[in-house]
């Protein structure tokens, strides 16, 4: 349903041009959850914002590539065209529910606004739908709560309202950027269950942006690992979790706190990602990689397909490594 092809995005800053995305490609299928993971600054939020047409103007620019959604290239749409897609075909949920909600408007108004603008339904129909959706997302006494303001709800309840707003026009794609990061652990688990329920009920596809591998383990079908503006490994959850092939993915998984390990046994990945003002020509992980070879620094690895679903950008997996320097 969604095909992102060779996306390059850069940002103009006072310090120069940051190359935030450097050739990102992936497909998303109907009814699946793709988790995009990586350290902060790796490009995962930029990927989401680019799909959603939310790059800051004029600093952010798509330099190359396409975002094909149901046969149309979203990068070619103008503002008005994109507004018809936002919140209707594709909805986005952000980390902080408080900034997503308008503190001065009753929750009911915020819920029905999208429906009234995009679907032209009557006030009473919109209200009925809003009540239904609050029930779906697990808010008790929906009739009464429609009249309340965001501050009258707890953090977890606010995120449920944000999810209800995102769903009201029945989008086919939901993009959630760190949707549970601001919530405590118990509420986090409830919200993740809610995503699963909603997906079962509606068949919506979900792109989940997160740095939390526990969240990924719980609800992802496939995982894309990003590093320095590229997807360096992608595969089904089982392939990436139990057979990670990129040293960075292995490092990420090794750095996850496990209950059966003592603290001193954790292995955070040492070093920092490269500067994206002048990205390296070779593998961006070279400086941190315990397996780096001479070729790594000089030539970027091509994508090696390990299975129909599992692909990795690493010279270790590529027989051509031997041939590059003879
Ligand atoms: Fe390490 Fe080289 Fe693979 Fe990059 S290409 S991850 S530096 S082995
Ligand atoms: Mg982010």
Interval 222-248: pLDDT, tens: 999 999 999 999 999 999 999 999 999
Residue 268 has pLDDT above 70, yes or no: no
Sign of CA dihedral 163, 168, 170, 172: negative
Pocket test for ligand 1, best of 247, 251, 279, 318 (most atoms within 8 A of CB): 247
Ligand 1 atom nearest to CA at 248? 6
Mean pLDDT of 2-31: 96
Question: Which protein residues are within 6 Å of ligand 1, measured from CB?
Answer: 246-247, 283, 285-286, 289, 291-293, 296, 301, 314-316
Q: What is the pLDDT of residue 261?
A: 52
Residue 264 has pLDDT above 70, yes or no: no
Q: What is the pLDDT of residue 184?
A: 85
Q: Which of 88-102, 157-171, 231-245 has the lowest mean pLDDT?
A: 88-102
Q: Which of 2-16, 42-56, 96-110, 191-205 has the lowest mean pLDDT?
A: 96-110
Closest listed ligand to the CA of 274: 1
For the entire predicted model, the pTM comes to 0.92
8 Å CB contact between 63 and 21:
no
Q: Which of 92-96, 189-193, 275-279, 294-298 has the lowest mean pLDDT?
A: 92-96
**Cα(101)–Cα(97) distance, rounded to whole angstroms?**
6
Chain segment 290-306, per-residue pLDDT in tens? 999 999 999 999 999 99
Ligand 1 atom nearest to CA at 313? 5
CA distances to 74, 85, 107, 232 from 285, rounded to whole Å, are 31, 36, 46, 10
Token readout for 163 is 């999810």
Q: In this structure, how many other beta carbons lie within 10 angstroms of the beta carbon of residue 3?
A: 15
Which helix (H) or strand (E) element contains residue 239?
helix 237-242
Q: What is the pLDDT of residue 326?
A: 43
Binned at pLDDT 50, 70 and 90, residue 322 comes out as low
Residue 87 has pLDDT above 50, yes or no: yes
- Of 34 and 136, the structure prediction assigns the larger pLDDT to 34
Q: Where are the domains of the chain?
A: 2-89+171-324
**Cα(22)–Cα(1) distance, rounded to whole angstroms?**
22
8 Å CB contact between 64 and 8:
yes
Q: Maximum CA pair distance of the chain? A: 74
Binned at pLDDT 50, 70 and 90, residue 263 comes out as low
Binned at pLDDT 50, 70 and 90, residue 269 comes out as confident
Mean pLDDT of 142-154: 95
Residue 97 has pLDDT above 90, yes or no: no
> In the beta sheet, which residues pair with residue 174?
91, 206
With tokens 């939020």, the residue in question is: 45
Torsions phi, psi for 162 (to 5 deg): -60, -40
Q: In what order do the strands lie in the sheet with 16-28?
A: 16-28, 2-13, 60-69, 72-73
Q: What is the pLDDT of residue 323?
A: 67
Q: What is the pLDDT of residue 85?
A: 93
Ligand 1 atom nearest to CA at 297? 7
Q: What is the pLDDT of residue 57?
A: 86
Domain formed by 2-89+171-324, architecture: 3-Layer(aba) Sandwich (3.40)
> Which distant-in-sequence residues (6+ apart) come within 8 Å of 32 by Cβ?
205, 206, 221, 222
Ligand 1 atom nearest to CA at 232? 6
Residue 39 has pLDDT above 60, yes or no: yes
Closest listed ligand to the CA of 250: 1
Mean pLDDT of 155-179: 92
Burial 76-111 (b: 16+ CB within 10 A, else e): ebeeeebeebbbbbbbbbbbbbeebbeeeebbbbbb
**Cα(306)–Cα(93) distance, rounded to whole angstroms?**
33
Residue 103 has pLDDT above 80, yes or no: yes
Distance 109 CA to ligand 2 centre (A): 29
- Angle (nearest 5°) at CA 304 between 301 and 310: 130
């Amino acid at each position: 349903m969604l095909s992102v092809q060779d996306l390059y995005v850069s940002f103009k800053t006072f310090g120069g041009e940051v190359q935030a995305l450097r050739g990102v490609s992936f497909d998303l299928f109907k009814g699946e959850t793709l988790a995009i993971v990586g350290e902060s600054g790796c490009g995962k939020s930029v990927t989401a914002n680019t799909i959603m047409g939310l790059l800051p103007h004029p600093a952010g620019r798509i330099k190359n590539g396409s975002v094909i959604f149901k046969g149309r290239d979203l990068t070619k749409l103008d503002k008005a065209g994109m507004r018809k897609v936002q919140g209707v075909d594709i909805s986005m949920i952000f980390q902080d529910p408080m900034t997503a909600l308008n503190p001065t408007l009753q929750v009911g108004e915020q819920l029905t606004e999208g429906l009234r603008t995009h679907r032209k339904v009557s006030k009473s129909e919109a209200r009925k739908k809003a009540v239904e959706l609050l029930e779906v997302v697990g808010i008790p006494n929906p009739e009464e709560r429609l009249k309340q303001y965001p501050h009258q709800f707890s953090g977890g309840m606010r995120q449920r309202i944000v999810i209800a707003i995102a769903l009201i026009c029945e989008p086919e794609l939901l993009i959630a950027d760190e949707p549970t990061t601001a919530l405590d652990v118990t509420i986090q688990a409830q919200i993740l269950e809610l995503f699963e329920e909603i997906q079962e009920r509606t068949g919506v596809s979900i792109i989940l942006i997160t740095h939390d591998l526990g969240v990924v383990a719980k609800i992802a079908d496939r995982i894309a690992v990003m590093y320095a503006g590229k997807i360096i490994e992608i595969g089904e959850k089982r392939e990436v979790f139990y057979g990670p092939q990129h040293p960075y993915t292995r490092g990420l998984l090794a750095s996850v706190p496990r209950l059966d390990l003592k603290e001193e046994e954790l292995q955070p990945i040492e070093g920092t990602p490269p500067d994206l003002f002048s990205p390296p020509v070779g593998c961006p992980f070279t400086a941190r990689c315990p397996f780096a070879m001479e070729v790594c620094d000089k030539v970027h690895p091509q994508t090696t397909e390990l299975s129909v679903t599992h692909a990795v950008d690493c010279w270790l997996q590529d027989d051509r490594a031997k041939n590059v320097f003879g």
